[in-house]
Structure 1
Amino acid sequence: MNKNTSQARHAALSAFAGTTLEFYDYYVYALASTLVLGKVFFSSQTTLAADLASYGTLAAGFLARPLAGVVFGTLGDMWGRKKVLTITVVLMGFATMGIGLLPSYTTIGIGAPIALVLLRILQGISVGGEWGGGVLMASEHAASGWKTFAASFAQLGSPAGMLMALSAFRLANSFGEATFFTWAWRVPFLLGGVLALTCFLLRRKLTETPDFLAALSAGQAAFEHPLKKLNGHWLRVFYAGAAVVIGSAGFFFMNTFLLGYATRYVHLPSNVILNALFVATCFQLLTQPLAAFLAEKTGELPFLLSSAALCILMPYPVFFSLQSHNLVLISCTITLAIVTLSAFYAVIAGYIVHAFPVSSRYTAISIAYQSSAALVSGFTPLIGTLIASHYAENWFPLALFFSTLALISILGVVGLNQSNKT
């Protein structure tokens, strides 16, 4: 086997493993914010207030991500992708295990939600540096004509991490409601810490990317701050941030907000939605690499525009199926929506990578993605909860909100394509 081919495969698999563990930890928090954290850490509040407070801590982690993207992106462009990725996984493991060990509000009072917010911010800092590095580690090791496909392996960590998180909560739920709220909800967080240690050991064996080493040898990586190199490219960064919206916020709408909405407003058991999400994420794991392969061979731009346009239509059958209480229909519509989302998500990472030079690439894509996550994705469950509480039985405004997220991505992709021509 060709040495470069072997390294490219190892890099793609390593990026997949790393982002799987990172997204597992992050999704565990997202699911817990819907199922349990409001009751454990904000137990003195009303149900709505506890939900909003819990989703607020979810958003707090997103607010830390743009600054982390700047810091870790800069370090990744100056020091190398490998070093930064080792740091981020250690931070995530510490934060996630810390949440699993954190005493409840009834035990230590106000100190519990304060500590929860701080650990959540640390999670956000970790993910702020992780995503860009994982994408670049896979993409920059790949041969020409396979870079978008390789980058999708880092994106594949999202459904794999989600499956692991759903499995962990299904296990925790199996102990019964009383045990779940007493201690079993902590198990997924503690497992995340153990998995992070495994990932740390794996990442120590990674090699630096050829693209970065070439930039370093040319003197492009170490001597000029990457932010300075982005002068004249900030509009492109803005477009890239808009382009990734539906690929990030859409999942938090479907995987986080929808779970709470279905149980509180449609009165479906949480296991029904968890099972539907589990089925949908299995299909996502299978179809996402295929989407990236097809996009690379047929053209990334038309593929992205087509999948984002389909995303505009997806929420309407989902909400209709929820009202029907038909379990098969619910699973089918949620699966269709998530597979469509994942097709866009698989391709967008590689697409925005090509928009920036190697020496400022980590910084640029991290700022774009993490700023988008902070301003839109992190607040998606919160906004959805406020819309649902205001309109009660009317789901159309929620579907319209989701369609708007998809439209923003279309405008971002078009703008990024036009800016690349100038």
Structure 2
Amino acid sequence: MAFASFIGTSIEWYDFFLYGTASALVFGDLFFPTGDPLISTLLAFATFGVGFAARPIGGAVFGSLGDKLGRKKVLVVTLLVMGAATAAIGLLPTYGQIGVAAPILLVLLRLVQGFGVGGEWGAAALMAVEHAPKGRRGFFGSMPQMGVPAGTILSTGAFVLINRMDEQTFLSWGWRIPFLASFLLVIVGLLIRVSVEESPEFEKLVKEKKQVAMPLRSAVRDHWRVILLAGGMRFSENSVFYVVTVFLLSYGTTALGLERAALLNAALIAAFVEILTIPYFGAVSARFGARRMYLSAAALSVLLAFPFFLTVNTGNMVAVTIAMIVTIVVACVMYALQPSMMGSLFPAEVRSSAVSIGYQIAAVFAGGLSPFIATGLYAWSGEQWWPIAAYMMVMGLITWICTHLATKRYGGHLT
């Protein structure tokens, strides 16, 4: 079950992250030509954030369906939604071909992507932790989280290969190949997801007739404070991840003069390290305590914000790669423990709705907007890096406070 969650989420995050990489490398020129590279990149990142705006809607809709119809059905439908939207992006004509209709269609497809991935995480995370043996929820919950670095590796690796093309070929049609490849990956994911068994906790709810008629309404009415705190628990990890993996691609090439291929390779190395560290942190949480590890990582993320940029600004690719790895590993501590920690905050009858909404709140305010905010701060400050580091520090403080309050006052619904 844990392996199936990992494979499925890897494919969905491949679809989602392709857009982020393309926003930094190609969408500004092809869909938002302004004559100013910084403004074009800013507009591309804005549409990247649009997908995150749709994620809470997807989380609410599919989260509620997960409580009413089951986690498994949601996993199958969200994979189809994501795959179709991603492949369609690969077929889009550019601004130079159809004018303003091109960016409009791109934004609409990004909204569909956000809607699909917004509903996927809650179902995948709960399938893992609700199938887990007692005392191993941290490890089992970390399995779907590995889908993010795996998706990063697949999407970044695809662009690394395509980047070997000459510039004209890459901009003409080469960038489309990774998006169209989603067709094949979706078929693989569907074969895996239709074969898994439904969550035993959901089946228990059905058997004992303890389902609520309107789980979404019940979750918001009875647990809104905890949902907000759960969202805040993600602010640091989510913002750090997208600053490092998305904004840094643009900042490194334009401000520091680093090679695009070198930055993509550094992102790949960091993602490989993530795949190793996420299950490790999930496993050792049973020994060291998930709450203690989470709070320590949030505090460390505050301390690392300025050293991260000071190291990156050296322009030395070895130093840049090390800075990316260290910062991402700290975020991985928090990310690995989110399914088990957030799942324990809510009762089973509204768990899918509640964790999906809480998780996707952060996706909007800390995830999708972070490359846009970072680029905006960079432009506002006269191309200075320190406001971005300060932004990362604030996100870390919010996460520490929310984690402290949520885990101290609530929890215990998963043992």
- TM norm structure 2: 0.96
1:364 aligns with 2:359: no
Query: Residues 304-348 of structure 1: CA distance to partner in whole angstroms, max 9, x if unpaired?
Result: 001111111223232122221212111111111111111211112
d(CA) in 1 for partners of 2:120, 2:172: 32
Alpha-carbon distance in 1 for matches of 2:411, 2:335: 23
RMSD across aligned positions (CA): 1.5
| 1:29 and 1:58 in contact (8 A); partners too | yes
Instruction: Determine the C-alpha separation between the residues in 2 that align with 1:215 and 1:285.
Output: 33
Return the alpha-carbon distance in structure 2 between the equivalents of residues 224 and 387 of structure 1: 42
Partner in structure 2 of residue 232 of structure 1: 222
| 1:215 corresponds to | 205
Task: Report the CA distance shift for 1:45/1:117 in structure 2 as closer, same or farther (over 3 A).
Answer: farther
- Mapped to 1, the partners of 2:125 and 2:240 lie a distance apart of 19
The amino acid of 2:393's aligned partner reads: S
Q: For residue 174 of structure 1, give the secondary structure of its aligned residue in structure 2.
A: coil
Q: Which string of whole-angstrom CA distances, capped at 9 and with x for unpartnered residues, describes residues 341-391 of structure 1?
A: 112111122101101011100000000011221122111000100111122
For the pair 1:107 / 2:104, whether they are aligned, the reply is no
Q: CA 1:229 to 1:267, structure 2 compared with 1: closer, same or farther past 3 Å?
A: closer
Answer yes or no: is 1:173 the counterpart of 2:163.
yes
- Assess if the C-alpha contact under 8 Å between 2:215 and 2:353 holds in 1: no
TM-score (norm 1): 0.95
Q: Does 1:133 align with 2:126?
A: no
Contact 1:58 1:378 in 2 (8 A): yes
The 5 A counterparts of 1:263-342 are: 263-342=253-332
Q: Separation in 1 of the partners of 2:112 and 2:222?
A: 32
2:219–2:353 Cα contact (<8 Å) kept: no
Letter paired with 1:308: A
Q: Matches of 2:326 and 2:299 in 1, distance apart?
A: 14
- Whichever residue aligns with residue 348 of structure 2, its letter is V
Task: Output the CA distance in 2 between the equivalents of 1:296 and 1:56.
Answer: 40
Query: CA 1:232 to 1:261, structure 2 compared with 1: closer, same or farther past 3 Å?
Result: same
Contact 1:305 1:413 (C-alpha < 8 Å) held by counterparts: yes
Give 1:282 deviation, angstroms.
1.1
For 1:60, the aligned partner's letter is V
Q: Does residue 92 of structure 1 match 2:92?
A: no
In structure 2, C-alpha distance between the alignment counterparts of 1:313 and 1:265, rounded to whole Å = 24
Q: Which amino acid aligns with 1:244?
A: R
Which amino acid letter does the alignment assign opposite residue 401 of structure 2?
L
Q: Is the 8 A contact 1:249 1:380 kept in 2?
A: yes
**Residue aligning to 1:3:** none
Q: What does 1:21-420 align with in structure 2 at a 5 Å threshold?
A: 21-44=11-34, 46-221=36-211, 223-420=213-410
Cα shift readout 1:164-222 (whole Å, capped 9, x = no counterpart): 11110100101122211111111111112321121012111111010100011111226
How far apart are residue 421 of structure 1 and its match? 6.9
Partner Cα distance (1:205, 1:414) in 2 = 39
Q: Which moved more, 1:45-54 or 1:96-105?
A: 45-54
Amino acid in the other structure paired with 1:132: G
Distance 1:421 1:90 in 2: 33
- What is the Cα deviation at residue 116 of structure 1? 0.4
Equivalent residues of 1:265, 1:392 under 8 A apart: no
Note if contact 2:247-2:371 (Cα within 8 Å) is conserved in structure 1. Answer: yes
CA contact (8 A) 1:93 1:194 kept: no
Contact 2:60 2:216 in 1 (8 A): no
What displacement does 1:272 show? 2.1
Secondary structure of the residue aligned to 2:410 is helix
CA contact 2:344–2:411 (8 Å) conserved in 1: no
- Contact 1:64–1:124 (Cα < 8 Å) also in 2: yes
Three-state SS of the structure 1 residue aligned to 2:181 is helix
- Counterpart AA for 1:333: A
Which residue number corresponds to residue 7 of structure 1? none
| Separation in structure 1 between the aligned mates of residue 230 and residue 102 of structure 2, nearest angstrom | 37
Report SS of the residue matched to 2:221: coil
Residues in 1 aligned to 2:382 and 2:264: alpha-carbon distance in whole angstroms? 22
For residue 19 of structure 2, what is the amino acid of its counterpart?
Y
Q: Which residue of 2 aligns with 1:12?
A: 2
Q: What is the CA–CA distance in structure 2 between the aligned matches of 1:216 and 1:230, rounded to whole Å? A: 21
CA contact (8 A) 1:230 1:360 kept: no
Q: Given residue 270 of structure 1, which amino acid in structure 2 is its aligned partner?
A: R
Give the Cα separation in 2 of the matches to 1:419 and 1:52. 40
Structure 2 CA distance for partners of 1:270 and 1:315, relative to 1, 3 Å: farther
Shift of 1:92: 0.4
CA distance in 1, matches of 2:200, 2:82: 27
Which amino acid counterpart does residue 128 of structure 1 have in structure 2?
G
Counterparts of 2:409 and 2:379 in 1: how far apart (Å)? Answer: 40
